Amino acid sequence: MYKDLSDILICPECKGKLKLSINKEENGEVIDGKLCCDNNHNWAIKEGVINFGSKEQDLSNNWEEMFIQNGYEGLDKKILDSTPENMIRINEMTKDFIINRINNHENKVILDIATGRGMLLTELARKITVDAQVVCADLSFEVLKYDRLKVKKINPNLKINYIACDATNLPIKENSIDLAVSFHGIANMLDKIPLGVVEAKRVLKEEKSLLNCGTNIRENSQGYKAMKEWFNSQEIYEAEKVFTNLGFKNVHEAASFKNVELITIAEDNGQKCDTDLIPYEGEWFSVVVAECKK
């Protein structure tokens, strides 16, 4: 993390102010240290990443286990090889859309919610043209540790902070962020998607925006039925509704954003994929970005 990030951080336990202690620093980045509040909640900074004690999801995206099995670069290749060609193309279009929005506005602090393997982050590191500080938030300390090393090779001058935390309880003050983005990250939060959207709004400054992308399908489709059956098997009810256009828009409007606009990046039919339930093979889907102004 970079030292000035501590100005907008709060303790996730008590919401108190955090004091920074530094053990090791390189070029202004704190590599090893500690954050502590007045209530003696202590949070370690290791390998440049703040660890706020969050745990990875049990039901999906257990990155630490997959890294152990495949290695970091091996996992990237494995996932890319299993991604249908049309989704690779649409993912590139979606990342370019978000990065263009970043580059066309003055944003001093950008929050990437549920960064994951850094699919958006690595592209942003290559294409960013504005002077901005990036904050990457993800449940997994392990994935952020590897993201940091990967991005250092791409753009060592880009100022990026990595915080392992729960995106439904961000350790960030209200009205602190100039732009929040999520590349299918919030959309992977299962039944906590509404909480992730609400929390993104809380940390945004007034008049600033959330760009949140997701995949939408039709309610009368086999893919929707499969999603509903899977959620029900996990005793998660009605979460599948957010994967329709209306449901996706409703979850953002329910967070009381001033304005919500759904922007369709692309539409296509699903291709065979063994790793994701949707897009369902042979069925219509769209990838959209919800642009929401606070």
Q: Is the pLDDT of residue 199 over 90?
A: yes
Whole-number average pLDDT of the chain: 92
Percent of the chain exceeding pLDDT 70 equals 93
What is the pLDDT at residue 105?
Answer: 82
Q: Answer for the pair 139, 166: CB distance below 8 angstroms, yes or no.
A: yes
At 98, which helix (H) or strand (E)? helix 85-103
The burial class, CB within 10 Å (0-12 / 13-18 / 19+), for 259 is exposed
pLDDT in tens, 28-71: 999 999 999 999 999 999 999 999 998 865 555 556 666 666 66
Residues pairing with 287 in the sheet = 215, 266
Domains of the chain with bracketed CATH: 3-293 (3.40.50.150)
User: Does this model's pTM top 0.85?
Assistant: yes
Q: Answer for the pair 221, 195: CB distance below 8 angstroms, yes or no.
A: no
What is the pLDDT at residue 154?
Answer: 95
Q: Is the pLDDT of residue 163 over 90?
A: yes
What is the pLDDT at residue 63?
Answer: 60
Q: What share of the chain is helix, strand, coil (3-state, %, to 5)?
A: 35, 30, 30
pLDDT in tens, 99-144: 999 998 888 999 999 998 899 999 999 999 999 999 999 999 989 9
Location of structure tokens 């300390």: 141
Q: And the tokens for 292? A: 């929401």
| Closest among 116, 114, 31, 115 to 67, alpha carbons compared | 116
User: Which amino acid belongs to residue 173?
Assistant: K
Q: And the tokens for 91? A: 């993912």
pLDDT in tens, 209-264: 999 999 999 999 999 999 999 999 989 889 999 999 999 999 999 999 999 999 99
| DSSP-derived secondary structure letter, 140 | -
Helices (H) and strands (E) in the chain, counts: 8, 11
